[in-house]
Each structure stands twice: as C-alpha cells, then as structure tokens.
C-alpha cells in the first residue's frame, strides 16, 4: 500500500481525504451496530446493562494484538477507547461520579477508563462517590486506591468494608506533578509565600520542594484542583498538580514533572452496582478477616498457593472491631468464576473467617 502513495502534497492530501471519508463511514456503521445492541439489551431485560467492562477489555486487547503500526499499540487502543465511548453514549450516556473537583487526577483516570463521552459528576469526598453510586445517582464511580510512592489510600479501603458496591475495573495513571503559578507571578517566583497541594502530592514532591523552595510554607488541601483554584485567587501562592488543574484554573506551569520518583503511578478503582463477567484476564479483590491466632495469615496465603493462584497485592488494615484485629485486602489474578478461586472460597467458608468478594474485573488494558 505504501508504494502506491503519491509523493506530492496535493496527492497525499487527496488520499487522506478519501481515507477519512471511509473511516467516518465505518465509525457510523459501528455506531449503528452499537445502537442496535442497545435495543437488543432493552428488549432482553428490565434493567439492561449497557456498559460491559469485560467486552470493552476484550475489544481493546484485540486492537492491540492485531496492530502492526506505524501507530503504536497504546495510541491505537486509545483511539478505539474513544470510538467505544461514543458508541456506548448512543446506547445510554454513563454518569460517572469521581473525587472532584474538575481537574483532579481522578477525573483524568475516569476519562482514561471511560473515554470522553460521559456525563461527569465531580464530588467532594470519597464516601460521597460511593453514596452517589449506591443511590443510583451515577452509574459508576472512580476513586483512588494506591500510589506507588505514598502507598494505599486508606479511606477508600475502609469504605469498602461496609459498602455493597462492587469493583468493576481498575485504571493506572502515571502521575506527573507540575509547579504552577498565576500568570502575574510567572516572572516573580521569588515572591511566592505559600505552596498549596494535596497532602500526597506534597509528599511526592518533597525533595524537589526542599531543594527549590526551602522555608516556603506548604499547605495541604483537599485536592490538587482545589489547590490550583486557591493559587489562582491569590497573588502570593503557587500550587502543585496535574496539567488538567493548571488548564482548569488558568495557571502557568513554571516547572514540569517535579515528582521525586519518575515512575510515580496511582491506581484507581471503578465502582458499580453490578458484577462483571470474565474477560479472560481478570483480577479479583477480596476482603478477608481472619481469627487472630498464629498461622492464620499463613494458612490463608497457603490456600491460594496450593491452587496455583497468584496474589498481586496484600494490604492489612485495622478492622476497628476490637484491638489487634485486622482485615486483609487481597488482589488475586483470576476471576471469581475460576474453579481454583471457587475452591479456595469454599475452603475458607468452612473456617472461622469472614470473606467478602469486592469484585472481579478485567486487568487494566490501557
């Protein structure tokens, strides 16, 4: 195909115009199919499930597998991510609640996972995101769960203990922090008296701040977006946050990528009311509370090992029910329907322990 391309600008642009027209037709044909899928789902049941995470993961994986460039696998999957987002919105636009305000990394994660054709519902706290989804005000919610530098977001884990919601997806986001200032301070960085950011972001940029702004007051606020908003309203303050927050509040980026760890990543969870079918490459998150006796944790881990199940994470939190009692959060690399998982859960059911399946969901594709 490449040899047949013309080698002059008008000829190449003509070629691009023709290809664009074909791509556009095909996207609309695909959208018609999705609309029809929506109708079929409506006819099939009372409470149709329009969003199907397992199917989306399979579509995106297939896009990456068959891709032979020159467009990179991830870029190609991102394009398809948007196409599917548009198709799903034709079936039913998804309302997505997330830890706001607008411009947070959590919003960025929600757009990475669902694409841009969604109705965004920024909420001020993690428990409010849970409540909004539980009450049906949003179809799904997005909350941060752990950061590679700063560890788990305890509040999210603790909220799962009592919530009936299921985890139906995960998103990983590379977190880049920028030092941002109002336009008026761009050339007067020395006059900055206060630096605002979320406590985790301040911690992730500690060394950089110690080097560049020793002695300048650091203020922890609810989110990076809130920090950017405060900085935009003052004439003596800077904020640390992502690009979205800078754009949202009209701040100028003075220094980019100031995080101390270059591969600083945050993992977010998608929470919803329904369970997700197997996509072929899945994870299950479990909450386990075991008797406080020697060997209890060993026995639990040994059961997974015996069935050849991989654990990708284990986290312990105080159960808040009596001293020295802990609950464990585990991620197992298998779907809950997997016979090996079922065998382990049956074994646990015969023991003095409490097990709650928080959800099975596709391993993040993008």
Ligand X SMILES: O=C(O)C(=O)C[C@]1(C(=O)O)C=C[C@@H](O)C=C1
Tokens of 105: 């990394």
Tokens of 352: 């003095």
Q: What is the CA radius of gyration of the chain?
A: 24
Three-state secondary structure call for residue 136: coil
34 binds ligand X (CB under 6 A): yes
59 binds ligand X (CB under 6 A): yes
Task: Choose one: 84-92, 147-155, 343-351, 357-365; the region binding ligand X (CB under 6 A).
Answer: 84-92
d(CA 110, CA 75): 17
95 binds ligand X (CB under 6 A): no
Name the one residue in this structure whose structure tokens are 């909420």. 123
What 8-state DSSP symbol labels residue 295?
T
Binding residue (CB under 6 A) for ligand X from 24, 29, 42, 91: 91
88 binds ligand X (CB under 6 A): yes
Report the residue number, 101 or 362, with the smaller CB distance to ligand X: 362
Task: Choose one: 15-23, 48-56, 298-306, 333-341; the region binding ligand X (CB under 6 A).
Answer: 48-56
Q: At its nearest, how many Å lie between ligand X and the CB of residue 308? A: 31
Residue whose Cβ sits closest to ligand X: 87
Tokens of 144: 């941060």
Judge contact between 145 and 153, C-beta under 8 A: yes
345 binds ligand X (CB under 6 A): no
335 binds ligand X (CB under 6 A): no
98 binds ligand X (CB under 6 A): no
Report the residue number, 167 or 240, with the smaller CB distance to ligand X: 167
Binding residue (CB under 6 A) for ligand X from 57, 60, 77, 87: 87
Q: Tell me which residue of 150, 226, 199 sits closest to 237, measured CA to CA.
A: 226
Residues in the chain: 366
Q: Tell me which residue of 308, 312, 310, 297 sits closest to 348, measured CA to CA.
A: 297
By CB under 6 A, name the binding residues for ligand X: 34, 37, 51-52, 55-56, 59, 84, 87-88, 91
């Amino acid at each position: 195909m490449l040899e047949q391309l013309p080698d002059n600008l008008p000829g190449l642009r003509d070629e691009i115009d023709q290809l664009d027209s074909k791509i556009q037709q095909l996207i609309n044909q695909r959208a018609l199919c999705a609309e029809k899928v929506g109708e079929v789902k409506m006819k099939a049941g009372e409470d149709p499930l329009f969003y199907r995470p397992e199917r989306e993961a399979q579509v995106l994986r297939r896009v990456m597998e068959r891709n032979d460039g020159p467009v990179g696998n991830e870029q190609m999957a991102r394009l398809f991510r948007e196409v599917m987002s548009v198709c799903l919105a034709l079936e039913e636009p998804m309302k997505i609640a997330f830890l706001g305000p607008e411009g947070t990394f959590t919003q960025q994660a929600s757009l990475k996972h669902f694409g841009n054709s969604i109705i965004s519902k920024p909420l001020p706290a993690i428990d409010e995101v849970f409540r909004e989804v539980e009450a049906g005000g949003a179809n799904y919610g997005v909350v941060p769960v752990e950061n590679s530098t700063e560890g788990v977001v305890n509040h999210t884990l603790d909220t799962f203990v009592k919530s009936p919601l299921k985890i139906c997806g995960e998103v990983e986001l590379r977190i880049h922090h920028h030092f941002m200032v109002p336009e008026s301070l761009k050339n007067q960085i020395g006059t900055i008296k206060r630096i605002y950011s979320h406590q985790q972001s301040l911690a992730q940029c500690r060394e950089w701040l110690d080097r560049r702004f020793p002695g300048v007051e650091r203020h922890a606020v609810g989110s990076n977006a809130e920090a950017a908003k405060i900085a935009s309203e003052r004439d003596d303050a800077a904020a640390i946050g992502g690009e979205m927050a800078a754009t949202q509040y009209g701040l100028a980026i003075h220094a980019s990528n100031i995080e101390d760890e270059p591969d600083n990543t945050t993992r977010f969870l998608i929470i919803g009311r329904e369970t997700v079918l197997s996509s072929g490459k899945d994870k299950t998150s479990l909450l386990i509370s075991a008797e406080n006796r020697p060997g209890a944790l060993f026995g639990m881990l040994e059961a997974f090992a015996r069935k050849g199940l991989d654990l990708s994470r284990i986290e312990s939190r105080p159960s808040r029910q009596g001293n020295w009692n802990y609950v464990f959060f585990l991620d197992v690399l298998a779907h809950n329907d997997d016979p090996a998982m079922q065998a382990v859960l049956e074994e646990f059911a015969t023991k003095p322990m409490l097990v709650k399946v928080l959800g099975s969901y596709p391993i993040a594709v993008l």
